[in-house]
Amino acid sequence: MFRKLKGPVIFLLMFLDVQVIVGSTPICVHGHTGCQTLSLADLFDRVIQHSARVHGLSSDLHSEYEQYFLPSKNKISKINRNCHTSYILTPNGKENAQRLAGEDLTGVILKLLLAWRDPLSQFHRSMAQHEDFTSFSGNKALEMSDMVQQLRMGVERVAETMHLLGMISNSVRGLISNEALGPQASSSEARPMNDQQLLYCFRRDSNKIQIYLKILKCRIAPEQGC
């Protein structure tokens, strides 16, 4: 369980290029000149907004892919819904997610984001080989890969701050240990996915991540109308 915060929490984002998440002004502590301070709730808001953009982009790409590669309504495409992240135990539904301890839910988010690092890079390379696929959609594939990396770094900083505040007992390294990730996290051992299956699975997981982040934020700042 989380302890309720007494006043704004100031934290430091160091050595990360996460301007998409936190804005162009650098984040620092003690009000140094040219810096911006944010509460943990504010950072959660920005990470959630970034997560919403990631999910929106994944939905757009999924639709564009089906329109381009499956233009015929009579064409049947069977998707293998056994996603490569199925080994990560995620709560089934929002109510079950709300029952999960904050530390466990944070770990689930980080594991999902880390598990998508290599598959999204591979997807962008795959899209680049389709010369007749729109360059706009190809750029979206690259943007999605970059945005997920930025989101993961942002969530890691949130988790580190929560750990420093005593809100969770484990560090980021403890939350995403190799043992916790399992053997399926290795790209060399993971089952290959076709592009349509990848987009289906990522759209599903990005929606989960967005929901879980909102639940965590509401536990920290319930007064903000959650």
* Residue 90 and residue 206 in contact, taking contact as beta carbons nearer than 8 Å: no
- Which residue type is seen at 199? L
Whether residue 2 lies inside any domain: the answer is: no
Whether residue 64 lies inside any domain: the answer is: yes
- pTM of the complete model: 0.76
Three state DSSP letters for 131-148: CCCCHHHHHHHHHHHHHH
Whether residue 1 lies inside any domain: the answer is: no
Whether residue 8 lies inside any domain: the answer is: no
Whether residue 4 lies inside any domain: the answer is: no
Whether residue 10 lies inside any domain: the answer is: no
pLDDT at position 42 is 86
Q: In which domain, by residue range, is 129 found? A: 19-224
Quickly tell me which residue has 């939350």 as its tokens: 175
Number of domains in the chain: 1
Whether residue 200 lies inside any domain: the answer is: yes
Which letter does DSSP use for residue 184 in this model? G
Whether residue 6 lies inside any domain: the answer is: no
Q: What is the pLDDT along the chain (226 residues), one digit of tens a residue?
A: 444 443 333 333 333 334 444 444 444 444 445 556 678 888 899 999 999 999 999 998 888 888 777 655 545 455 566 899 998 999 988 899 999 999 999 999 999 999 999 999 888 887 777 665 555 566 788 889 899 999 999 999 899 888 888 888 877 777 766 544 554 444 434 455 788 889 999 999 999 999 999 999 998 877 766 6
Chain segment 117-175, per-residue pLDDT in tens:
999 988 888 777 766 555 556 678 888 989 999 999 999 989 988 888 888 887 777 77
CATH number at residue 178: 1.20.1250.10
Is the C-alpha dihedral spanning 63, 201, 150, 220 positive or negative? Answer: positive
